[in-house]
Amino acid sequence: KQEVTQIPAALSVPEGENLVLNCSFTDSAIYNLQWFRQDPGKGLTSLLLIQSSQREQTSGRLNASLDKSSGRSTLYIAASQPGDSATYLCAAPSGSARQLTFGSGTQLTVLP
């Protein structure tokens, strides 16, 4: 059974700082890994999808890496802004339905 863990649970940084969010998973036989952003009381917005054949994926100030052998993924946010404040969730598909198994998220606060 796939288990996904995210560390830290919460993070507070000053504006402009570069930061790294961590995600680990127990079953390395994954097809891909997806990072999401969730604002309070809202749904999930997909940020990046990394296929199992890729090691990195970039979108603007975001860069996600995937290391299947170690069961880890990281989300790197460059030059953080107050608008980046949100909960960040990683998820890996499992099962015949390829349903997503989520971590509990990292709640990020970027202070102006």
Partner 1 sequence: DTGVSQNPRHKITKRGQNVTFRCDPISEHNRLYWYRQTLGQGPEFLTYFQNEAQLEKSRLLSDRFSAERPKGSFSTLEIQRTEQGDSAMYLCASSLGPGHTFGSGTRLTVV
- Give the interface with partner 1 as residue ranges (CB under 8 A): 4, 31-32, 34, 36, 41-46, 49, 51, 89, 91, 93, 95-105
Instruction: Compare residues 4 and 75 and give the one whose CB is closer to partner 1.
Output: 4
Instruction: Compare residues 7 and 31 and give the one whose CB is closer to partner 1.
Output: 31
Q: How far is the CB of 61 from partner 1 (least distance, A)?
A: 20
Query: Among positive and negative, which fits the CA dihedral 86, 52, 67, 27?
Result: positive
Alpha carbon separation from 109 to 32, 81, 100, 101 (Å, rounded)? 27, 9, 25, 24
Q: How far is the CB of 76 from partner 1 (least distance, A)?
A: 20
Q: What counts of helices (H) and strands (E) characterise the chain?
A: 0, 11
Instruction: Compare residues 54 and 81 and give the one whose CB is closer to partner 1.
Output: 54
Give residue for tokens 């989520």.
102
